């Protein structure tokens, strides 16, 4: 059922500077609208959107029946995010659900009244999204996926699978807000592993061919694809290029391995989207973002694709296979 506001809460809302947003009140008695904005693409996020919808369903909200979801996708073009967020604010949505730190920051700048639920890979404290993980304050809360702090771990796993690879490529999106932190982490980890990095950059689709040509020219023997919403939105293209150039590669999300990549290591992204759905539903039922603690992902998954390994003539050590949460055969 749609959320309603009691008489006491309504009086408080009109008298308080931090009032419940006008959009939510306006929808009293009507089907509420949730705005959903992603830096990625709809196709790449199909499985995760289903998880978001499952989160809504846990609290009785069924899309198309008692809640409407307006979706917007930037397709990896971060410059579009403020416009997409603005479109949904004009629609007077009851809740904004945003994925990626750049999207969350654009939403925070655009509104201080509409509740915002985020799913981000960067530390929401470091990026200034919230004042505290336990008591976020303001109009934002959500899920923290630990995406951007795992590059060193990924490099170590890749080195174990390709131990003779002394030159490892690192594909970085320079427009991603965590790019410099990712590069620092890799530069700290590489000497410990005895490898040299071949860093290539891409922030538009046309950059990929040049980046892979550079990796081949520089004799990189493996590839680490750093976390980035843009890369995720183009994950099928990147996996195909890595296979074409015979580069064993590690990625951030399971989706890369499921579409033919060698391996992935990261948090369970679908679980983070489900949590975003849960929080959006709780807010529709009256909870305030300031009182909902930021959920920190605890489900990490290593996925190995043995079909890809065979095609690349890579022998994945049994020890790594035993560590894997999923082995695709």
Q: Give how far Cα 262 sits from Cα of 48, 84, 210, 313, Å.
A: 21, 34, 21, 11
Taking only the tens place, the pLDDT of each residue in 177-219 is 889 999 999 999 999 999 999 999 999 999 999 999 999 999 9
Residues 270/312, Cβ–Cβ less than 8 Å: no
* 7-146+268-298 and 151-267+301-328 share one fold: yes
State the pTM of this model.
0.76
CB 177 within 8 A of CB 127: yes
* Per-residue model confidence as pLDDT tens digits over 107-158: 999 999 999 999 998 889 988 999 999 999 899 999 998 776 789 999 999 9
What is the fold of 151-267+301-328? Rossmann fold (3.40.50)
Class of domain 7-146+268-298: alpha beta
Hey, where are the domains in the chain? Answer: 7-146+268-298, 151-267+301-328
């Amino acid at each position: 059922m749609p959320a309603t506001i009691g008489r006491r809460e309504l009086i408080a809302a009109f008298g308080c500077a931090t009032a419940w947003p006008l959009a939510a009140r306006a929808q009293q008695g009507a089907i509420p609208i949730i705005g959903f904005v992603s830096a990625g693409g709809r196709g790449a996020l199909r499985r995760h959107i289903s998880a978001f919808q499952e989160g809504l369903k846990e609290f009785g909200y069924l899309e198309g029946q008692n809640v409407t979801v307006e979706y917007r996708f930037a397709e990896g073009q971060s410059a579009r995010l403020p416009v997409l967020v603005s479109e949904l604010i004009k629609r007077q949505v009851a809740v904004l659900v945003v994925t990626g730190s750049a999207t969350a920051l654009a939403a925070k700048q655009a509104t201080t009244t509409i509740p915002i639920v985020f799913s981000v890979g960067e530390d929401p404290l470091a990026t200034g999204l919230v004042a505290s993980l336990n008591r976020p304050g303001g109009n934002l809360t959500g899920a923290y996926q630990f995406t951007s702090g795992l590059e060193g771990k990924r490099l170590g796993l890749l080195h174990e699978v390709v131990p003779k690879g002394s030159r490892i490529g690192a594909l970085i999106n320079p427009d991603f807000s965590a790019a410099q932190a990712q590069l620092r982490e890799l530069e700290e980890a590489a000497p410990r592993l005895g490898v040299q990095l071949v860093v290539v950059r891409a922030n538009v689709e046309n950059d990929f061919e040049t980046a892979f040509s550079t990796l081949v020219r520089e004799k990189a023997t493996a590839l680490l694809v750093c976390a980035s919403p843009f890369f995720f939105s183009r994950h099928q293209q990147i996996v195909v290029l890595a296979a074409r150039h015979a580069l064993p590669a590690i990625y951030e999300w399971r989706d890369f391995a499921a579409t033919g990549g060698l391996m992935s290591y990261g948090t369970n992204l679908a679980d983070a989207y489900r949590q975003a759905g849960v929080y959006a539903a709780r807010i529709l039922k009256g909870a305030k973002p300031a009182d909902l603690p930021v959920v920190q992902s605890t489900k990490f998954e290593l996925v190995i694709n043995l079909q890809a390994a065979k095609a690349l003539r890579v022998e994945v050590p049994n020890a790594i296979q035993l560590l894997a949460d999923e082995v695709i055969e």
